[in-house]
Amino acid sequence: MTWLAIAGSAVVTYAARAFAFRVALPSGLPRGVTRYLDALPAAIIAALAGPAILVPGGTVMRGPELVAALVVIAVVAWRRNLLAGVLSGVATVALLRLVLAA
């Protein structure tokens, strides 16, 4: 199942990157296709990370990872920047693990 998810993600990512050459197309893509391609990276990350964060091994996660996921969602919603969200999530996990380990 994991290999199927990896292969599916690879196909979708490759297709999205192939569409990046839409600038070279003589006519623009429909607005719906453009919005879809813009939302695709966030959807792929959420689909891959969501189950691993929320229910790893069949139990609901309670810890730094869940708090970091909420921080990522808040930062991305606020700043509309996926990189800022991911970096804030990594910083949150690192800080909470450091504080909770002490």
What is the rounded CA–CA span in Å between residue 86 and residue 72?
A: 6
- Mean predicted lDDT score pLDDT of the chain: 81
Question: What is the pLDDT averaged over residues 36-57?
Answer: 79
What is the rounded CA–CA span in Å between residue 93 and residue 65?
A: 6
Question: What is the pLDDT averaged over residues 10-23?
Answer: 72
The pLDDT tens digits for 53-100 are 777 777 777 788 889 989 998 998 999 888 899 899 999 999 999 998
- Scanning 19-81, the segments in alpha helix (DSSP H) are 31-54, 64-79
Question: What is the pLDDT averaged over residues 25-49?
Answer: 78
What is the rounded CA–CA span in Å between residue 82 and residue 97?
A: 23
Taking the mean position of all CA atoms in its chain, how far away is CA 35? 16
CB 93 within 8 A of CB 64: yes
CB 85 within 8 A of CB 75: yes
What is the rounded CA–CA span in Å between residue 71 and residue 12?
A: 26
Q: What is the pLDDT of residue 27?
A: 64
Q: What is the pLDDT of residue 25?
A: 58
Contacts of 40 (CB under 8 A, 6+ apart): 12, 16
Higher per-residue pLDDT: 26 or 35: 35
**Sorting pLDDT into bands at 50, 70 and 90, what band is 22?**
low
Q: What is the pLDDT of residue 79?
A: 92
